[in-house]
Amino acid sequence: MREKSLDFIFKFGSLLVIALVILFFSMWDEHFFTYANLSDILRSISITTFVAIGVTFSLTVDGFDLSVGSTVSLTTVVTAAFMVWYEQPVVVVIIVALLIGALVGLLNALLIVKIRIPDMLATLAVMYIVGGIHKTYTKGYSIYNNMPMPDGSTAPGKFSESFLWLGQGKLLGIPVPVVLMIIAVISVHLFFKYTRWGRQMYTTGGNEEAARLSGVRVRRIRTFAYIASGIFAAIGGILYAARVGTGQIDAGAPMMMESVAAVFIGYSVLGAGRPNVIGTFFGAILIGVLLNGMTMMKVQYYANDIVKGVVLVLALAVTFIHLSRRRSG
């Protein structure tokens, strides 16, 4: 009986917690469970979800990418600069941002796969490098419409309406970032479940040596995972710039912790016990609901990190206790 109860908690505990948290905040404030507020929650987690999907890719191959937050910051300011400083069209802006994300991922892969620096150390170093680059590039200033330039003139360009629509617009009454997030979650889920590369990534993460012996090109798979991580972080940066209409320095700093928390909460969704994009999505929902509800309760913003940390610890505790029980059993 005890074993069944623990298994039930592991499989459905996260979903029950989300339901209970929504119920609690709905009873606390009648405006919480409304279409407008739930839409805002989904819009707010859309960027975090894209970043968390990137982290999911790296964890799937038994790695870890700490540079995603810095990648968001870099792509946010580059996106803004290309429109406000250089007056480039939206297509060029998006392509450049995605290429930057891919290059950051490729740098991580070079350090980890080729030079064999441990994942945590390599991506930590890249996090600092990318963070320094984006601050040096902007000289520590945010980028916005009509901003003053060093020569005393005003920035010639501005954020285009078509670009801002990506972060602020609606499609059939649903916020565009939410539509993009749902498409991304479904697409990545199908990729992992039904494609050869997706299955090989899980095989590589489960046992790299066994994967190599079975013919999997492990180094290529791991390289792809880090490039994918960089690209999804770049998409997060693009959407962030489109949502706020500025290129803010350190925009991605808080997203690293939130995305990591979402991924590890996702380990326990439906008893997966491993990184999975559906679990990541529900983990992001839990983080978003908590932050929104605490804002409605007028909890001081600096207490948010405490709550996120506690949620992450609990998710990790449940996940790894269950995994250790399964191994010993």
- Quick: pLDDT tens for 13-23: 678 888 888 89
Band of the pLDDT at 314, cuts 50, 70, 90? confident
* CATH code (residue 182): 1.10.3470
Q: What is the span of the domain harbouring residue 288?
A: 9-328
Read off the amino acid at residue 86.
Y
Tokens 């916020």 — which residue?
175
Read off the amino acid at residue 11.
K
Q: Is residue 125 part of a domain?
A: yes
By residue count, the chain amounts to: 329
Q: Is residue 240 part of a domain?
A: yes
Higher pLDDT, 322 or 44: 44
Q: Is residue 2 part of a domain?
A: no
The phi and psi torsions of 106 (rounded to 5 degrees) equal -65, -35
| DSSP category for residue 18 | H
Which residues does 258 contact at the CB level (< 8 Å), separation at least 6? 48, 51, 52, 284, 287, 308
Give me the helices (H) in 169-276, please. Answer: 176-194, 196-206, 208-213, 218-244, 253-266
Q: 161-218, pLDDT tens digit by residue?
A: 999 999 999 998 899 999 999 999 999 999 999 999 999 999 999 888 889 988 889 9
The pTM score is: 0.93
Q: Is residue 4 part of a domain?
A: no
Which residues does 308 contact at the CB level (< 8 Å), separation at least 6? 257, 258, 261, 287, 290, 291
Q: Is residue 285 part of a domain?
A: yes
Q: Is residue 1 part of a domain?
A: no
172's torsion region: left (phi>0), alpha (psi -120 to 50) or beta? left
Judge whether residue 311 has pLDDT over 60.
Answer: yes
Query: Total domain count for the chain?
Result: 1
Which residues does 124 contact at the CB level (< 8 Å), separation at least 6? 66, 67
Q: Is residue 132 part of a domain?
A: yes
- Tally of helices (H runs) and strands (E runs) in the chain: 13, 2
